[in-house]
């Protein structure tokens, strides 16, 4: 007699893989548990990052006004609000906002990337859509880690001074000159800032979509904004190390 073959894995006695259901967090934390919530958090943290990156780039340009101006500005960031506010009040306030912002941005990006890889590929409407979406998401996955690596080196170089050949506390002008006297460092800064530019371009473009502003009529404005923003930021940042290396700033 032929034995009947089991029709399913359950019938065969094989336990199907069950994911542990995620514990529902209380509102508003529960928003972050969904993919839409994570995209929203990525967009909002991205905007905070864009604001910092813009202010920091504008501050760096003070180097063209000379050592005194730049160092006075850096000192002002630490003494603002004195004598009422404690020393470093603004700087520590910014750090307290930036650190969780960066952690949330990276966590949401990693979660969405992982989910995207696990998901079965869904067909795009046209080949053009496929190419555009693919290029955008692919650049984000390599430009993000490059910017993170850059940030680690950058802090060691110009904030803590361990990677700087001649670091002097409080002398930002001197520290920049000491660092950018090394051409491999300048090449690394330029490359990392170009990667940052690509990241910012796609971030500035897609944040509208993540925030639900998805209107074909404003697509041209979105593209212009993303392009101008990325070009201005990269240009402002890379000008300093190059100007120091070629002797425009001495």
Options 39, 241, 245, 249; binder of ligand HEM; rule CB under 6 A: 241
Burial 53-66 (b: 16+ CB within 10 A, else e): beeebeebebbeee
Q: Is 189 in the site for ligand HEM (CB under 6 A)?
A: yes
Q: How many helices (H) and strands (E) does the chain have?
A: 7, 0
Closest CA to 189 of 164, 226, 170, 216: 164
Closest CA to 62 of 51, 52, 47, 72: 72
Options 109, 196, 198, 226; binder of ligand HEM; rule CB under 6 A: 196
Q: Whole-angstrom Cα distance, residue 157 to residue 165?
A: 9
Token couple for 212 = 């639900």
Q: Is 172 in the site for ligand HEM (CB under 6 A)?
A: yes
Q: Whole-angstrom Cα distance, residue 43 to residue 105?
A: 8
Q: Which is nearer to ligand HEM, 14 or 99 (CB)?
A: 99
Q: Is 74 in the site for ligand HEM (CB under 6 A)?
A: yes
Q: Is 154 in the site for ligand HEM (CB under 6 A)?
A: yes
Say which DSSP state 228 is in: H
Q: Which is nearer to ligand HEM, 91 or 136 (CB)?
A: 91
Near ligand HEM by CB under 6 A, which window of 9-17, 135-143, 188-196, 214-222? Answer: 188-196
Nearest-approach distance from CB 188 to ligand HEM, in angstroms: 10
Torsion of CA 78, 150, 46, 97, to 10 degrees: -30
Options 176, 198, 204, 230; binder of ligand HEM; rule CB under 6 A: 176
Closest CA to 240 of 149, 151, 175, 148: 175
Options 95, 114, 138, 168; binder of ligand HEM; rule CB under 6 A: 95
Q: Which is nearer to ligand HEM, 56 or 138 (CB)?
A: 56
Options 44, 47, 48, 53; binder of ligand HEM; rule CB under 6 A: 53
Nearest-approach distance from CB 100 to ligand HEM, in angstroms: 13
Nearest-approach distance from CB 33 to ligand HEM, in angstroms: 28
Torsion of CA 28, 29, 32, 36, to 10 degrees: -20
- Whether the Cβ atoms of residue 190 and residue 242 lie closer than 8 Å to each other: yes
Nearest-approach distance from CB 53 to ligand HEM, in angstroms: 5
Q: How many residues bind ligand HEM (CB under 6 A)?
A: 21
Contact residues toward ligand HEM (CB under 6 A) are 53, 56, 60, 74, 77, 91, 95, 147, 151, 154-155, 158-159, 172, 176, 189, 193, 196, 237, 240-241
């Amino acid at each position: 007699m032929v034995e009947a073959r089991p029709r399913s894995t359950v019938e065969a006695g094989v336990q199907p893989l069950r994911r542990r259901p995620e514990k529902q967090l209380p509102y508003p934390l529960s928003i972050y548990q969904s993919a839409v919530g994570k995209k929203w958090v990525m967009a909002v943290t991205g905007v905070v990052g864009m604001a910092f990156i813009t202010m920091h780039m504008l501050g760096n340009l003070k180097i063209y006004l000379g050592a005194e101006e730049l160092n006075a500005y850096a000192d002002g960031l630490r003494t603002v609000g004195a004598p009422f506010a404690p020393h470093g009040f603004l700087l520590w306030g910014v750090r307290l906002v930036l650190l969780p912002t960066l952690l949330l941005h990276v966590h949401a990006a990693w979660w969405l990337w992982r989910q995207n890889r696990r998901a079965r590929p869904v067909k795009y409407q046209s080949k053009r859509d496929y190419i555009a979406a693919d290029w955008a998401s692919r650049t984000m996955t390599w430009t993000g880690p490059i910017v993170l690596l850059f940030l680690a080196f950058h802090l060691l170089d110009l904030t803590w001074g361990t990677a700087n050949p001649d670091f002097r506390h409080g002398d930002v002008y001197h520290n920049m000159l000491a660092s950018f006297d090394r051409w491999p460092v300048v090449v690394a800064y330029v490359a990392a800032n170009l990667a940052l530019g690509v990241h910012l371009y796609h971030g500035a473009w897609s944040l509208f979509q993540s925030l639900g502003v998805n209107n074909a009529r404003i697509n041209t404005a979105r593209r212009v904004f993303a392009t101008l923003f990325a070009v201005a930021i990269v240009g402002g940042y890379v000008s300093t190390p190059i100007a120091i290396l070629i002797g425009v700033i001495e």
